[in-house]
Amino acid sequence: MAFLQLLIMIYEYKKQLDTTKDFILPCKKDDLKSIQQFLPIAKPDFDGSFSTHQLMYGETGNRIYLVGLGEEKNASQIENTFRKFAFETQKYWEDEIQVFGEFLNEDALLKMVVGLEMSQYNIGEFKSTKEEKKEITVSISSTKNIDEILVEGKYTGETINKIKALVDAPPNIKTPEYLGDWAKKSAKEAAYKCTVLKQKQLEKQGFEAVLAVGRGSVNPPVVIINEYKGKDSEKIDIALVGKGITFDSGGLSIKPSTNLHYMKSDMGGAAVVLGVVELVAKLALNINIIGIVASAENAVDGNSYRPGDVINSYSGKTIEIIDTDAEGRLVLADGINYAIKKYHPEYIIDLATLTGSVVRTFGYAAAGMFTNNQEMAAKMSEIGFKVHERVWQLPMFEDYEDDLQSDVADIKNFNGKPIEGAINAAKFLEFFTEKHEKWMHLDIAGVSFGASPYAKMKSATGYGIQLITNFIKEKAV
Ligand code: BES
Ligand code: ZN
Ligand code: ZN
């Protein structure tokens, strides 16, 4: 039986590095001078290039790892450097590994811890291979007290790993109910409130669009409502809404079978929402937020909703179904409308793996951003660059509205044309926002799941956790 070793990292800060033991020396490109005092030779074979590392041995035979941080433009991706470094060298680590942290600013320190945590992500959770856990102390030398940064980094990395595990989980296990149970467990651990609305409640409260999408599945739909109140007031500052399609077969407008297995990741938006609420609660931020997940399985069955159907929705507006594969916008329409009517949030942000169109437009490099609020757009864009979870804005011109007019219902769910796919979906969502002035939609279909050097097939990226948490942090002052 093979064993996989996972490290449980305990982060500590210490004032002085013990240079007789193993340590990591982070180093900027062409900046060896700053660490020369620690080097056993004058000119190592190393120039600090981004995401490279070099092992040297010190006087006692201790390991000295030089880790390349690269240039200023690489600063937003330091977690990748440490993730790769730890992934490749951790089998040689003993009970303690030190880091010379003096030249790392707060952002870099945070990202380093996030990266170290991310290196412990176990994609093979469902293998019969047993895992072995080993504790290791990562002690970071600094003259400043960096305890808070270390805690934030650890929580952030842990949350990223948890939501990646959710997105990578197989769809026979990850049903809507499973997402509900995940949220309940998380709420208990991180002390926030979680309500899971099941079939009967959804019927009673009129979540007709969620119910229509879920009708063809033996796994009934749910709506999850997570509430975190960090402030002593009733006002909800930010509502997050996530698309939680646990498997998207396309429904009766069935998808081709090539790569269909990847449609287990169609709950990437939901995973971000679940993760962010948990993280914000753990960080005890001074803010009130709610996280809504509208979850269903889009399956093929005699009971499935059909193209041509006219369905109702939480908002009371009727929808003509042109394509049952445009299901994400339907569950979101209910989630968004519910969040606005019930909670009157100041900001509302929805996240969804909504369209193939956004993948064709931006590839895996950025999420599509849609909003009528330029202030929000500017802030999200700035944070996106900072944390390397980039967004890029697409227009919301009125011109696109004609395309959604239905002869038989208030709106149709697809323009039926091979153009403007991501915009068309965003315009559909806008119809259910009650003209909310601080609403943003992020289409994360390209960025939440993709190729990685750590897996043979596409897998979850963890995109969105740092982006949204940082947006919330800025409002939590
Ligand atoms: N879940 C898909 C979008 C998607 C595509 C996510 C690729 C991740 C990777 C969504 O529900 C969908 O099927 N969208 C259709 C909409 C169309 C039928 C109007 C699309 O984009 O093709
Ligand atoms: Zn679909
Ligand atoms: Zn979908």
Model pLDDT, residue 334:
99
Ligand found nearest the CA of 364: 1
Q: What are the chain's domains?
A: 7-145 (3.40.220.10), 158-475 (3.40.630.10)
How is the beta sheet containing 96-100 ordered, strand by strand?
A: 3-14, 130-141, 96-100, 23-28, 63-70, 53-57
Distance CA 34, CA 300 (A): 62
Distance 243 CA to ligand 3 centre (A): 8
Ligand found nearest the CA of 425: 1
pLDDT 10s digits, 276-334: 999 999 999 999 999 999 999 999 999 999 999 999 999 999 999 999 999 999 999 99
Q: Inform me whether the pLDDT recorded for 70 exceeds 60.
A: yes
Q: Inform me whether the pLDDT recorded for 379 exceeds 60.
A: yes
3-state secondary structure of 316: coil
What mean pLDDT is predicted for residues 29-54? 92
Distance CA 176, CA 247 (A): 10
Q: Inform me whether the pLDDT recorded for 336 exceeds 60.
A: yes
What mean pLDDT is predicted for residues 213-227? 98
Distance 267 CA to ligand 2 centre (A): 11
Model pLDDT, residue 376:
98
Q: Inform me whether the pLDDT recorded for 97 exceeds 90.
A: yes
Distance 250 CA to ligand 3 centre (A): 7
For the CA of 413, the nearest atom of ligand 1? 19
pLDDT 10s digits, 403-435: 999 999 999 999 999 999 999 999 999 999 999
Q: Of 332, 362, 361, whose CA–CA distance to 349 is shortest? A: 332
Model pLDDT, residue 204:
98
Task: Please tell me the residue having the least CA distance from ligand 1 atom 17.
Answer: 326
Model pLDDT, residue 42:
86
Distance 327 CA to ligand 2 centre (A): 5
For the CA of 358, the nearest atom of ligand 1? 21
Distance CA 221, CA 133 (A): 36
Q: Of 108, 99, 111, whose CA–CA distance to 142 is shortest? A: 99
DSSP 116-180: HHHTT--TTTTSS-EEEEEEEEEEEE-SS--HHHHHHHHHHHHHHHHHHHHHHS-TTT--HHHHH
Given the residues 21, 63, 255, 342, the one annotated as active site: 255
Task: Please tell me the residue having the least CA distance from ligand 1 atom 19.
Answer: 326
In a mutational test of the pocket of ligand 1, which residue from 245, 355, 357, 359 has the highest number of ligand atoms less than 8 Å from its CB?
Answer: 355
Task: Please tell me the residue having the least CA distance from ligand 1 atom 22.
Answer: 356
Contact between 223 and 292 under an 8 Å Cβ cutoff? The reply is yes
Catalytic residue list contains 329: yes
**pTM > 0.95:** yes
What mean pLDDT is predicted for residues 205-210? 98
For the CA of 448, the nearest atom of ligand 1? 8
Share of the chain above pLDDT 70, in %: 99
Q: Inform me whether the pLDDT recorded for 145 exceeds 80.
A: yes
Q: Inform me whether the pLDDT recorded for 34 exceeds 90.
A: no
Given the residues 83, 282, 329, 390, the one annotated as active site: 329
Distance 326 CA to ligand 2 centre (A): 5
Burial (CB < 10 A; 0-12, 13-18, 19+), residue 122, is: middle
Catalytic residue list contains 255: yes
Model pLDDT, residue 2:
56
Task: Please tell me the residue having the least CA distance from ligand 1 atom 5.
Answer: 356
For the CA of 266, the nearest atom of ligand 1? 1
What mean pLDDT is predicted for residues 249-274? 98
Distance 246 CA to ligand 3 centre (A): 9
Ligand found nearest the CA of 245: 3
> What residues have CB less than 8 Å from 406, skipping those under 6 apart?
319, 320, 412
For the CA of 414, the nearest atom of ligand 1? 19
Task: Please tell me the residue having the least CA distance from ligand 1 atom 3.
Answer: 355
Ligand found nearest the CA of 445: 1
Model pLDDT, residue 4:
83
Show the ligand 1 pocket: residues with CB < 6 angstroms.
248, 266, 323, 325-328, 353-357, 359, 414, 421, 445
In a mutational test of the pocket of ligand 1, which residue from 258, 325, 423, 463 has the highest number of ligand atoms less than 8 Å from its CB?
Answer: 325
pLDDT 10s digits, 347-368: 999 999 999 999 999 999 999 9
Distance 449 CA to ligand 2 centre (A): 15
